[in-house]
Amino acid sequence: MGRLSELTKGIIRENPVLVLVLGTCPTLAVSTQTGSAVGMGIAATAVLLGSNVAISLLRGVIPDKVRIPCFIVLIAGFVTVVQMVVEAYSYTLFQALGIYLPLIVVNCIILGRAEMFASKNGVAASALDAIGMGLGFTLTLFVMATIRETLGNGTWMGLEIPGLSGNGVAVLTMAPGGFIVFGCMIALVNKITKARGGEVRAEVDGCAGCPSAEACGKN
């Protein structure tokens, strides 16, 4: 796999949220406002970059049997750094994200990439993977929050949209609406990937149909 595709695979083909279906909790919770959604995306990307690089560097040192606690400790360290930086430099974002900022520690995307990619690949590839996955996560959050905030609340980035504000479809800002938008976006991405690569999952046979099959290495 070329260097460039390590970067771009996270955007559509192996999009962490819409194809791997990881990190659903922060995605649904934070995507009610575009501003905080982008903030969450950038914060998670920063943590992901740090943890992927660190874990890739330490992949020869960490014993296989205790790798998950080691990964979590490393990730928690980076999350604490990011949390303090956000609190210091962007207090409104810190308040908007609330509990979901420290919860990046248990964001499946980060642990998933550590387990699936960084612990098996070199530093440069892991860094590119982190940036690509972070980009995919941020873009997904941005698009989803744009849909939910404009149609649900009649605003975008907190700015009122003439004609839409006051006519919001309130359900879109609630959990059921989040799941509806989430489902529609998964359907759209499936449509795109299917159109590009032919019958992707026509015959899922064990690991062969999984988008992470190559990185996972089980097959």
Partner 1 sequence: MNELLVSVSPHIRDGATTRGIMRDVIIALAPAAAASVIIFGARAALVVAFCAVACPLLEAAYEKALGRKATAGDLSACVTGVLLAFNLPVGIPLWKAFVGCAAAIILVKQLFGGLGKNFANPAITARIVMLLAFPAAMAAWACGGGLFGETYDAVTGATPLTMIAQGNTGALPPLSAMLLGVRGGCLGETSAVALALGGVYLLARRVITWHAPAAFILTVFVFSALLGRDPVYQVLSGGLLLGAIFMATDYVTTPQTAAGRLVFGLGAGLITVIIRAYGSYPEGVSFSILLMNILTPYIGRLTAKKAFGGADA
**CB of 25 or CB of 184, closer to partner 1:** 184
User: Which neighbouring-strand residues pair with 159?
Assistant: 156
**CB of 60 or CB of 166, closer to partner 1:** 166
What minimum distance in Å lies between the beta carbon of 170 and partner 1?
6
What minimum distance in Å lies between the beta carbon of 169 and partner 1?
5
**CB of 141 or CB of 172, closer to partner 1:** 172
Binding to partner 1 by residue 21, rule CB under 8 A? no
**CB of 173 or CB of 212, closer to partner 1:** 173
What minimum distance in Å lies between the beta carbon of 161 and partner 1?
16
Tell me, residue by residue from 189 to 208, as one string, x for binding to partner 1 by CB under 8 A and - for no binding: --------------------
Please list every residue from 128 through 187 that binds partner 1, using CB under 8 A.
169-172, 174, 176-177, 180
CA distance 68 to 155: 41
CB 186 within 8 A of CB 211: no
What minimum distance in Å lies between the beta carbon of 142 and partner 1?
23
How many residues bind partner 1, per CB under 8 A? 8
CA distance 200 to 138: 25
CA distances from 157 to 15, 114, 161 (A): 24, 32, 10
Please list every residue from 48 through 87 that binds partner 1, using CB under 8 A.
none
CA distances from 100 to 89, 103, 105, 138, 145 (A): 17, 5, 9, 15, 15
What minimum distance in Å lies between the beta carbon of 100 and partner 1?
23
CB 119 within 8 A of CB 56: yes
CB 76 within 8 A of CB 100: no
**CB of 183 or CB of 209, closer to partner 1:** 183
**CB of 12 or CB of 171, closer to partner 1:** 171
What minimum distance in Å lies between the beta carbon of 187 and partner 1?
9
3-state secondary structure 141-204: HHHHHHHHHHHHHCEECCEECCCCCCCCCHHHHCHHHHHHHHHHHHHHHHHHHHHHHCCCCCCC
Which parts of this chain interact with partner 1 (CB under 8 A)?
169-172, 174, 176-177, 180
